Amino acid sequence: MSTTNLTEQRPYLGFGLGLRKEHFETVLADRPDVDWFEITSENYMVDGGKPLDYLTRIREHYPMVMHGVSMSIGSTAALDFDYLKKLKTLINRVEPAWFSDHLCWTGVNGLNLHDLMPLPYTEEAVQHVADRVSQVQDYIGRQMLLENVSSYISYNDSQMSEWEFLRLVAERADCLILLDINNIYVSAHNHNFDPLSYLTALPKERVCQFHLAGHTHENNLIIDTHDQPISDPVFELYAAAIEHYGKVSTMIERDDNIPPLAELLTELEQVRAIAENYFKDSEKNERTAKIKTA
């Protein structure tokens, strides 16, 4: 049983960025107008060194969340408790608002694919992943968020859509969802489904964070490269996500071709403007409705 239940509170952090080493100095010197940072957990799962020192100093000024890439929650290999122990140590050090990893598998039998592989969407896999998420949450003592990955393959054995699979895992494990809007767009293109079917299918109380990122077109596929600004269709999908889920903490992931921080701040302002325009409109509508019914 996890000890911190985020489902009831769904804390709202505002608009954030992924913390990247290229920006450590600027963040400390300028204290940019970013509501929070997401860190990649694996970069700091050590006892000391410069990155951890920067992290400690930046943490003094900003809320943080932790995002991992190595849990391999969908694998049939045993859970790696050495990894989880290090993760727990970092969680105790950073005190993040929450921690997350991907709904995927990254290897089996000692082999690491260094890629986030999708799962077959079967009842057996739902139970398998939900059991493992429950074990992780019990060990860490907190609920975790699971993120939808972008994918380029599918399995003949799948019995349900990806969004049904994600919903069932989240409900059965009582965990939260990190919805990557760009990944929905990428997978919708690659697997030919309507992104809005996915976007609107998840339990609202469990969607705790949004990711936004850029992608690259390659032949008939879209690849989730995180090396470009957010595309217009992904901004449009984000607007639909805000309309459907309301206030959800949102951040931009940029992992390659990293621009100066100022460029990402401008992009984050675009994100903020989309969301805040919608919030203003919906508050105005609510006020008008109240006046009409008074």
Binding site for Fe ion (CB under 5 A): 180, 211
Main-chain phi, psi angles of 44, to 5 degrees: -130, 15
CB of 61 to Fe ion, least distance (A): 24
Residue among 77 and 113 whose Cβ is closer to Fe ion: 113
Altogether, the residues listed in the chain come to a count of: 294
AA letter at 266: T
Residue among 142 and 211 whose Cβ is closer to Fe ion: 211
Planar angle of CA 149, 151, 157, nearest 5 degrees: 105
Residue among 35 and 127 whose Cβ is closer to Fe ion: 35
Here the tokens at position 158 are 């799948």
Here the tokens at position 183 are 């990944």
AA letter at 88: K
Residue among 180 and 267 whose Cβ is closer to Fe ion: 180
CB of 129 to Fe ion, least distance (A): 18
Here the tokens at position 24 are 């450590």
CB of 293 to Fe ion, least distance (A): 41
Residue among 101 and 180 whose Cβ is closer to Fe ion: 180
d(CA 79, CA 104): 13
Residue among 52 and 258 whose Cβ is closer to Fe ion: 258
CB of 250 to Fe ion, least distance (A): 11
CB of 35 to Fe ion, least distance (A): 18
CB of 177 to Fe ion, least distance (A): 12
CB of 211 to Fe ion, least distance (A): 4
What is 208-226 written as a DSSP string? EEEEE---EEETTEEE---
Question: Residue 104 gets which letter from DSSP?
Answer: S
Residue among 86 and 211 whose Cβ is closer to Fe ion: 211
d(CA 252, CA 269): 11
Residue among 211 and 215 whose Cβ is closer to Fe ion: 211
Torsion of CA 146, 148, 153, 156, to 10 degrees: 70
CA atoms within 13 A on the CB side of 105: 18
Q: Which strand (E) or helix (H) includes residue 250? A: strand 249-252
CB of 84 to Fe ion, least distance (A): 21
Q: Among 221, 217, 148, which residue's Cα sits nearest to residue 179? A: 148
The SS3 call for residue 36 is strand
